[in-house]
Amino acid sequence: MGDHSGINGHPQPEPPSPPSPPSTGDPQLDRAVGQWLRWDRNPLTRAVIQTLVDQNQVSELRSRLGSRLSFGTAGLRAPMGAGFNRINDLTVIQSSQGLCVYLSRCVPDLQQRGVVIGYDTRAQRESGCSSERLARLAAAVFLSRDVPVHLFSSYVPTPYVPFAVLKLGAAAGIMITASHNPKDDNGYKVYWSAGPQICSPHDRQVLLCIREQEEPWSASCWSLELSAHSPLRTDPLEDINKEYMKDTSLLCYHRSLNRTSPLRTVHSSFHGVGHVFVQRVFEVFGLSVIPVPEQKDPDPDFPTVSVPNPEEGVPVLSLSMSLADAEDAPLVLATDPDADRLAVAEKEPSGQWRVFSGNEMAALLGWWMLLNHRKTQDRTQDRTQDRTQDRTQDRTQDPRPEQKLFMLTTTVSSKILQSICIKEGLCYEETLPGFKWIGNRIHELQKSGHKVLFSFEESIGFLCGSLVPEKDGVSTAAVVAEMACFLHHQNLSLSQQLQRVYHTYGYHVSRTSYVVCHDPLTVNRIFSRLRDFEGSGTYPKTCASCGILHVRDIGANYDSRQPDHRGVLPVSGGHMITFWLENGVTATLRTSGTEPKIKMYAEICGEAGEKSDVSKLEAELLSVTASLLDEFLEPEKNHLIRRSL
């Protein structure tokens, strides 16, 4: 194999072949141990496995080497460290080799188009792994096969990678990130040439190719310096920054008002990548923003938050709120560490802070995007009325289909967009959970000549317009700040406008929560019980003493609403069961694709106008969610960890 790179990227002699390790008593595990010790060239992670072998820690060896990574809703994601089911140098090299082989089969001009690679600011001292290091190793794999690499020279938000794939015409994109996961996690997201994250069948085929390419090809794959010297490596950072800011400016509708607005905004980047990019996009919008000083610079230890996830609300937003109180700023925005999600909080007249849920922000952003789309369309039509009339005369000869306007969301998110679309004459669609499904649907609709105005998932993932087929906390932050300035000019708060939206389109009351379970067997047992509830051979008939009308089980390809009881959504990995109740509640239990969680979602919709009794709706919902937890999940019996911070 020749020379290879050590932990700091400097060439060092290849070590002699290790002696055969002592047997664990499990031939399959012995084979995995031998492969790891032969293949791994990171001295830190290699030493971990060697120590476990020396100490005969069979159980720990099996937990690290007995399974492989697989694609979830956000690509490959796992703790950093030694093992085939962890994120580390070897597994990133293996993943990149598999992806490279698959791309070479699918993309004839791969060696002209190349791949985009970006990374966030995560790092782990114990394993020597950092997102930047892993990105450089991924780049080395492609460069070793003469595939051009557009490797960002510094950390970037996740949406920058699919944006760059589209702008550069690349064959694919890779983002090294674990988004809002705990600090020891990292991940490997893959984007296809059209921009969205890969999904079936690409993800399965890439995994097969990874299995075929497990042994590192050559010493070049371990070279951290190859990307610094190869003529096939380019740095797209400056050009993509300019293009992103230019395209994001199209989402700004009230720049003059923004420049004069007295409304003040605080932003936290949660020790991640967001600060610089949010500052820039705010400047494009004519806005200013106050950063949280303790959280604006990257720090992989996330020292000021219990978890690096702004979705957790007040406990992790306390620094932002304290600064906002001191600065007399009524609006707090927080992007997660890779800046693809956005949390929003507003100070109420009482002095208390209200943290909006993802569903509530979607109601506001859906209203806002439609309002400005129609205003823009009205101005455009006024300017081009004569030309429009001329085109109308020839419309019978125009074979192009009429452009339709869409809003998209996921099956577990609020139905508020559906209510808006029904009333306003727009098209509405739902996908499976995970923005990769939304991104792929955006691509399909655009190919058919249609326009997607707004998309979201309830876990504070938003996309205004179709700038990039991925949730985008950076552009959404500026859009929310502009919306707040516009409403402030009309003496309205975000909370007040939300009530107006509900008054117009119906009250949508929702609750989301989760429990933590680290044992996959327990998770499987819980969902198996729901499919054979109390030995009945079928699903539960009631929840909170309320009859269940219909059940949809994605994993079993079952939907009782369909004449043949077959599902219409794609069958996906993991578990997801939805219940429709007689009282109007829709409730879903599903396993997370990125964390060891069982998530719960429930919503009830009331009428528009003054007729809805919101307190009654909330009581109905509370009763159902309590029953979902206590009766269906049985947290004490199954040793589940309830949500707590």
Kindly indicate the confidence band of residue 6, based on its pLDDT and cuts at 50, 70 and 90: very low
Q: Which of 200-204, 474-478, 498-502 has the lowest mean pLDDT?
A: 200-204
Please tell me which residue in 179, 223, 261, 627 is annotated as part of the active site. 179
Q: Check: CB of residue 487 under 8 Å from CB of residue 480.
A: no
Q: Check: CB of residue 122 under 8 Å from CB of residue 183.
A: yes
* pLDDT at residue 73, as a whole number: 67
144 catalytic per annotation: no
Kindly indicate the confidence band of residue 394, based on its pLDDT and cuts at 50, 70 and 90: very low
What does the alpha-carbon distance between residue 119 and residue 116 come to, in Å, rounded to a whole number?
A: 10
3-state DSSP call for residue 21? coil
Sequence-ordered list of residues with C-beta below 8 angstroms from that of 3, at least 6 positions apart, any chain: 11, 12, 13, 14, 219
* pLDDT at residue 609, as a whole number: 81
Mind listing the pLDDT tens digit for each residue in 200-232? 889 999 999 999 989 999 999 999 999 999 999
Q: Check: CB of residue 62 under 8 Å from CB of residue 98.
A: no
Q: What percent of the chain has pLDDT over 70?
A: 93
Q: Nearest Cα to 38, choosing from 15, 9, 59?
A: 15
* pLDDT at residue 623, as a whole number: 93
Mind listing the pLDDT tens digit for each residue in 327-367? 999 999 999 999 999 999 999 999 999 999 999 999 999 99
Please state the rounded mean pLDDT for residues 571-585.
91
Mind listing the pLDDT tens digit for each residue in 272-313? 999 999 999 999 999 999 999 999 999 999 999 999 999 999
The length of the chain in residues reads: 645
Q: Nearest Cα to 74, choosing from 203, 163, 209, 208?
A: 203
Please state the rounded mean pLDDT for residues 421-441.
96
Mind listing the pLDDT tens digit for each residue in 234-248? 999 999 999 999 999
Please state the rounded mean pLDDT for residues 594-623.
88
* pLDDT at residue 570, as a whole number: 85
What does pTM read for this prediction? 0.91
Q: Nearest Cα to 482, choosing from 321, 316, 272, 250?
A: 250
Q: Which of 186-200, 314-328, 372-386 has the lowest mean pLDDT?
A: 372-386
Mind listing the pLDDT tens digit for each residue in 61-80? 999 999 999 887 678 999 99
Flag whether pLDDT at 387 surpasses 60. Answer: no
Comparing 496 with 199, the larger pLDDT belongs to 496
| Phi, psi torsion values for 12, nearest 5 degrees | -145, 155
Flag whether pLDDT at 399 surpasses 50. Answer: no
Name the burial class of residue 383, with classes exposed (0-12), middle (13-18) and buried (19+) by CB atoms within 10 angstroms of its CB.
Answer: exposed
Flag whether pLDDT at 12 surpasses 50. Answer: no
Q: Check: CB of residue 417 under 8 Å from CB of residue 428.
A: yes
Comparing 246 with 379, the larger pLDDT belongs to 246
Flag whether pLDDT at 11 surpasses 50. Answer: no
Flag whether pLDDT at 606 surpasses 60. Answer: yes
Structure tokens at 206: 């890439």
Comparing 574 with 316, the larger pLDDT belongs to 316
What does the alpha-carbon distance between residue 442 and residue 453 come to, in Å, rounded to a whole number?
A: 10
Q: Which of 118-132, 453-467, 600-614 has the lowest mean pLDDT?
A: 600-614
Flag whether pLDDT at 398 surpasses 70. Answer: no
Kindly indicate the confidence band of residue 624, based on its pLDDT and cuts at 50, 70 and 90: very high
Kindly indicate the confidence band of residue 388, based on its pLDDT and cuts at 50, 70 and 90: very low
DSSP conformational letter for 249:
G
Edge-to-edge strand ranges of the sheet holding 115-119: 76-79, 185-192, 172-176, 115-119, 149-151, 233-234
Structure tokens at 620: 């109905």
Over the chain, what is the mean pLDDT?
A: 92
What does the alpha-carbon distance between residue 473 and residue 338 come to, in Å, rounded to a whole number?
A: 9
